[in-house]
Amino acid sequence: MSPQKVTTMRLPEVTAAQLVIIARIEGISVSEFVRQAIENQIAVTRADEGFKERLKQRLVEDRETLKGLGVEDV
């Protein structure tokens, strides 16, 4: 198994209760349900052309910032 990071989330009580019920009905843990939901959202985001353009722009901006800090080999 790959290394894992523990993350804490704050959810409204109603959302948390719904999450518990859905996970239980699906026969999986809340953690597994959330993992699957996050993985699905990452896949959707990665396929979004608008996201790719925003990512490229952020990389350009970050490179410029790093150059301003004297880091030239990025």
Nearest one of 43, 21, 18 to 35, comparing CA atoms: 43
pTM of the model as a whole: 0.77
- Calpha distance 41→12 (Å, rounded): 20
Per-residue pLDDT of the chain (74 residues; tens, 9 = 90+): 689 999 999 999 999 999 999 999 999 999 999 999 999 999 999 999 999 999 999 999 999 999 999 997 76
Residue located via tokens 């490229």: 56
Model pLDDT, residue 53:
97
Does residue 6 belong to any structural domain of this protein? no
- Calpha distance 47→51 (Å, rounded): 8
Does residue 2 belong to any structural domain of this protein? no
Model pLDDT, residue 32:
96
Number of structural domains (the chain) is: 1
Residue located via tokens 């925003």: 54
Model pLDDT, residue 74:
65
* Contact indicator for 4, 15 with CB cutoff of 8 Å: no
Domain with 56 in it: 13-68
Model pLDDT, residue 2:
82
